[in-house]
Amino acid sequence: MANESFFLTACKLYVGFTSASGFLFGQLFFGTFKWDATATGLAGLLIAIITFGPPKPATKELKRTLIVSTAVALAGLFSSAADYYEFNIYPGNDFGWSLKIPYILGIIYITYSSLITSHDT
């Protein structure tokens, strides 16, 4: 992690923390279960965990896992947003975009930088 940028490490920490606390623990705290939030939380947590530390060899499995996890996390998040705006129709709805946009950008940046800077085998 010494050769990683501070920004990339901060993104990994933010995505991991938001996945665990916001998407997974939030459901437990409020006593609800949403498949899309669970998928987003688990996929984001997986991305943060497997990319943390020094760059890993870019095996086909790692690349596939990162791409699929990113797609699942984004699909779950946008599905949750669509569900939210479909059933909560009142002024002032913002779905917490101030927390979700950095999460989206963080996931994309982590995946992109991990695929670009990892060592090919």
Taking only the tens place, the pLDDT of each residue in 12-65 is 999 999 999 999 998 888 888 999 999 999 999 999 999 988 777 778 898 999
Please check whether residue 60 lies inside any domain of the structure. Answer: yes
Question: Which residue stretches of 1-121 are H helix?
Answer: 6-17, 26-30, 35-51, 60-87, 97-117
Please check whether residue 1 lies inside any domain of the structure. Answer: no
Identify which of 6, 77, 3 has the alpha carbon closest to the alpha carbon of residue 37.
77
Q: Which residues pair with 92 in a beta bridge?
A: none
Residues 106 and 14 sit within 8 Å (Cβ to Cβ): yes
- Specify the pTM: 0.86
Full domain range(s) for residue 79: 6-120
Domain count within the chain: 1
